[in-house]
Amino acid sequence: MIQDDCRLTAREISAKVGLPITTVFARIKRMEKAEIIKGYHAVLDAAKLNSSTTAFVLASFACQRDGDKTLSQRQVVKEVAQFPEVQEVHIISGDWGILIKVRASDVESVGKFVVDKLRLVKGVEKTLTCLVFESQKETTSIPLWPPQA
């Protein structure tokens, strides 16, 4: 329930699940302490905030040397994650090695990000950009049990 609406109060959750408020509150606090609940966030409308263009960028990692030091794929991903256009960045299997979700105002802005920022990161060898035409589902929810038929 908290994944669907983090503004629910312990009282409202208690009424829905039939447990005492103190039990619900204690369970939520326990999940926060165990970092099962990592935070509470608002879901913003990207189109209304001039970030309606989404792209997924695949990047290949080149294990180059930076002076006496070998570049770490994890360090490259941390550097890429610092760009404000980057919504997600993942180390993945296969030839590409890195998957990046980018939000920008338009296609030109995505292109500028890839050419002027991403391709200048040491360790990024080549990129493949896939523009999103339409999204049917975007969520941060994690399924906790199999859906019922």
Q: At what angle do helices 21-33 and 10-17 cross, to 10 degrees?
A: 110
Does 22 reside within a domain? yes
Domain hosting 82: range is: 47-131
For residues 122 and 67, the answer to whether their CB atoms sit within 8 Å is: no
| 5 Ramachandran zone, left/alpha/beta (phi>0; psi -120 to 50) | beta
Number of folded domains in the chain? Answer: 2
CB 121, CB 80: distance < 8 Å: yes
Are residues 90 and 28 located together in one domain of the fold? no
- Average confidence score pLDDT of the chain: 92
Judge if 6 and 54 occupy the same domain.
no
Q: Is 148 part of any domain?
A: no
Burial class (CB within 10 angstroms; exposed 0-12, middle 13-18, buried 19+) of 105: middle
Q: Can you list the alpha helix ranges (DSSP code H) found in the chain?
A: 10-17, 21-33, 73-81, 107-116
User: Does any domain span residue 142?
Assistant: no
Q: Residues 87, 116: one domain?
A: yes
Structure tokens at 119: 């391709």
In this structure, is the dihedral angle defined by the CA atoms of residues 11, 13, 17 and 21, taken in order, positive or negative? Answer: negative
70-74, 79-83, 109-113: least confidently modelled range: 70-74
Report helix, strand or coil for 99.
Answer: strand
pTM: 0.83
Can you give the CATH number for the domain in which 9 is found?
1.10.10.10
* Residue 43 confidence (pLDDT) above 70: yes
Q: What is the CATH number of the domain that holds 108?
A: 3.30.70.920
pLDDT, residue 110, reads: 98
87 and 20 co-located in one domain: no
Q: Is residue 144 part of a domain?
A: no
Q: How confident is the model at residue 145 (pLDDT cuts 50, 70, 90)?
A: confident
Q: Which long-range contacts (CB under 8 A, 24 or more apart) does 4-11 make?
A: 4/141, 6/40, 6/41
Query: What pLDDT, in 10s, does the model give residues 87-135?
Result: 999 999 999 999 999 999 999 999 999 999 999 999 999 999 999 999 9
Bridge partners for 57 per DSSP: 100, 129
- pLDDT given at position 65: 62
Residue 57 CB coordination number (10 Å): 24
